[in-house]
Amino acid sequence: MEEPQVRSGWPLYEVFLRAKRGLNHVHVGSLHAADSQMALHHARDLYTRRNEGISIWVVAARDITASSPDEKDPFFAPSGDKVYRHPTFYEIPDDVPHM
């Protein structure tokens, strides 16, 4: 039998919670775990203690590709002056929630 590798520390996972049906999963924090199953257990124990969620996603932090703060301007500035891209020119009916 191959001896499993011993690591000095557990990798980081990011936790996303969905509070109720119809809402999105929202990032709530991060935690350490040996693998994704353990991360799910830890997320349940750390982030749903007060009945906050009905669904949990965990993602290994190393698998997340993030935009760089250095590229902030080329990435985001060009959309700043394009007001016509905002869907603000029509009324949202009262019975459409979460918009």
| Interface contacts to another protein, rule CB under 8 A | 3-4, 6, 10, 17, 19, 23-24, 26, 28, 31-34, 37-38, 41-42, 45-47, 49-52, 98
CB of 60 to another protein, least distance (A): 15
Rg of the chain taking only CA atoms, in angstroms? 20
Rounded Cα distance between 48 and 50, Å, is 5
Minimum Å distance from CB 26 to another protein? 4
Distance from the Cα of residue 48 to its chain's centroid: 15
Nearer to another protein, 37 or 79 (CB): 37
Q: Which amino acid is at 45?
A: D
